[in-house]
């Protein structure tokens, strides 16, 4: 079948470095492995590095036969800014223009957000009688309002009303809704105004275990050690964006408490980049147990997986994330997870015995959770084994994405989902 895979915001195979493959990329690979024709519609603007991949809308082939459709739109420099909204509006407009010149697909699979691309895909699907699946990965536009102080939240919601209307119309008119978790699926169904049907479903983010040569990973280990990563200590690793919904301050404050107490057992390695990096680096000045590595490519991530003992999911209080990417990355590495996320994530960690919980924003709670995971060698080993087992059985990309492809094949052919 001919599939349009629509997803902006991921790293692409054409980007520099050994970039990790994420959800859309793994789905494209799974579709191609079943000989389906894939056009991956995405943005010409790299959200992570904030640079344009090309200066006009471009089509290029990938090595596996996927056609990459890079839609040009205005760049922006901050994750939260008016320029980003302009960029997304232009992406929707460019999709409408380019789609008129393409052979129609048999299925459109669109990652949500962005709102404008999702709305444009459903609009196209309705016009051409093509099934459209919306894949809920983030709760837009709800998070626009959630980050606003409660005193002006009503005004913010009124200003964002066009986005709420587009969201409602898109989900009410799409063919099916899938989500990365039960909560995310139910969120989409609430906007759709209906109960779950046959072709709705939950397909977690999943994760592909890094495949790099031993020599490559060993080389990256040495590079990380040169930055200060010390595997003789208990390395506690955060991997993610240094953006508004994350909070590394409790980690840094906890590290300072440990240093003042003369405790050298732990080292906190913070990997990523973003608008809050300068503030967090300033806060950590003078600490010999905190290392900032900057953004890591796939090979360095594989190396850090070997060097680390604990994975940290550090978010601000009230963060909208449910089961984010980093949870699956830590599981793939067999790393016990120290998280402050409530809801689905907290329930999962407790039921699967894959980590510990701390209170968002609370350094003392963070330290207590850390000691829960590391004070006993046998306890750490048991939780690590649980993480590896759960990952292999439920969250490996080798299981998740072939199952999603089968689900989509059933939708197009009208067969019952097994």
H helices present in 249-320, as ranges = 249-260, 277-283, 298-307
Please determine, for residue 197, whether its predicted confidence score (pLDDT) is greater than 80: yes
> In the numeric block, which tokens belong to residue 386?
């649980």
- Measured distance CA(368)–CA(21) in Å, rounded: 34
Give me the pLDDT at residue 252, please. 98
- Measured distance CA(251)–CA(413) in Å, rounded: 51
Please determine, for residue 181, whether its predicted confidence score (pLDDT) is greater than 70: yes
3-state secondary structure of 112: strand
> In the numeric block, which tokens belong to residue 135?
């894949």
Give me the pLDDT at residue 147, please. 64
Instruction: Give the position of tokens 């009688």.
Output: 129
3-state secondary structure of 6: strand
H helices present in 289-362, as ranges = 298-307, 325-332, 343-352
Q: What is the mean pLDDT of the chain?
A: 94
> In the numeric block, which tokens belong to residue 9?
């915001």
pLDDT digits (tens, 9 = 90+) for 320-366: 788 888 999 999 999 999 999 999 999 999 999 999 999 999 999 99
Give me the pLDDT at residue 243, please. 86
pTM above 0.75, yes or no: yes
Of 292-301, 374-383, 404-413, minimum mean pLDDT range: 292-301
Give me the pLDDT at residue 152, please. 78
Using N-to-C axis directions, what is the helix angle for 298-307 and 325-332, rounded to 10°?
60
> In the numeric block, which tokens belong to residue 398?
């080798």
Give me the pLDDT at residue 39, please. 98
Q: What is the mean pLDDT of residues 43-48?
A: 93
Q: Domains in the chain, ordered, with CATH?
A: 2-208+396-413 (3.40.50.2000), 214-395 (3.40.50.2000)
Q: What is the mean pLDDT of residues 156-179?
A: 94
Q: What is the mean pLDDT of residues 70-78?
A: 94
Of 151-155, 189-193, 280-284, 355-359, minimum mean pLDDT range: 151-155
Tell me the CB-side half-sphere exposure of residue 101, using CA atoms within 13 A. Answer: 8
List the beta bridge partners of residue 67.
Answer: 39, 61
Please determine, for residue 93, whether its predicted confidence score (pLDDT) is greater than 90: yes
Q: Give 3-state DSSP helix, strand, coil % of the chain, rounded to 5.
A: 45, 15, 35
Q: What is the CA angle 244-250-251, rounded to 5?
A: 100
Report how far apart, in Å, the C-alpha atoms of 62 and of each of 6, 52, 101, 103, 168 are.
16, 18, 20, 19, 35
């Amino acid at each position: 079948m001919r599939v349009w895979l629509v997803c902006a915001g991921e790293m692409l195979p054409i980007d520099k470095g050994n970039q990790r493959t994420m959800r859309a990329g793994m789905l494209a690979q799974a579709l191609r492995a079943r000989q389906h024709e894939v056009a991956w519609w995405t943005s010409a603007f790299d959200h992570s590095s904030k640079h344009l991949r090309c200066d006009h809308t471009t089509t290029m082939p990938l090595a596996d036969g996927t056609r990459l459709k890079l839609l040009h739109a205005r760049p922006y420099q901050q994750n939260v800014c008016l320029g980003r909204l302009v960029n997304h509006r232009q992406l929707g407009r460019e999709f409408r223009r380019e789609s008129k010149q393409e052979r129609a697909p048999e299925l459109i699979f669109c990652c949500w957000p962005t709102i404008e691309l999702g709305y444009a895909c459903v609009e196209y699907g309705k016009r051409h009688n093509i099934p459209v699946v919306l894949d809920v990965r983030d709760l837009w536009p709800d998070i626009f309002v959630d980050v606003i102080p409660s005193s002006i939240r009503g005004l913010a919601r009124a200003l964002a009303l066009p986005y709420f209307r587009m969201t409602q119309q898109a989900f009410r008119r799409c063919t099916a809704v899938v989500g990365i978790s039960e909560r995310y699926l139910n969120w989409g169904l609430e906007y759709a105004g209906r109960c779950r049907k046959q072709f709705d479903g939950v397909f977690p983010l999943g994760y592909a275990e890094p495949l790099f040569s031993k020599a490559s990973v060993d080389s990256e280990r040495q590079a990380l050690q040169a930055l200060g990563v010390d595997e003789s200590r208990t390395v506690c690793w955060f991997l993610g964006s240094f953006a508004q919904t994350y909070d590394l301050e409790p980690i840094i404050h906890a590290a300072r408490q440990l240093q003042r107490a003369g405790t050298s057992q732990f080292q906190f390695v913070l990997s990523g980049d973003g608008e809050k990096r300068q503030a967090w680096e300033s806060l950590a000045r003078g600490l010999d147990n905190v290392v900032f590595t900057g953004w890591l490519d796939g090979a360095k991530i594989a190396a850090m997986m070997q060097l680390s003992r604990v994975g940290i999911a550090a978010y601000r209080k009230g963060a909208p994330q449910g089961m984010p990417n980093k949870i699956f990355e830590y599981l793939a590495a067999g790393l016990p997870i120290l998280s402050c996320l409530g809801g689905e994530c907290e329930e999962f960690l407790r039921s699967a015995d894959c980590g510990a919980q701390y209170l968002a924003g609370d350094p003392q709670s963070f330290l207590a959770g850390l000691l829960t995971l590391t004070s006993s060698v046998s306890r750490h080993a048991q939780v690590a084994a649980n993480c590896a087992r759960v990952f292999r059985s439920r969250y490996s990309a080798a299981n998740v994405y072939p199952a999603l492809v089968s689900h989509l094949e059933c939708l197009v052919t009208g067969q019952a989902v097994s």
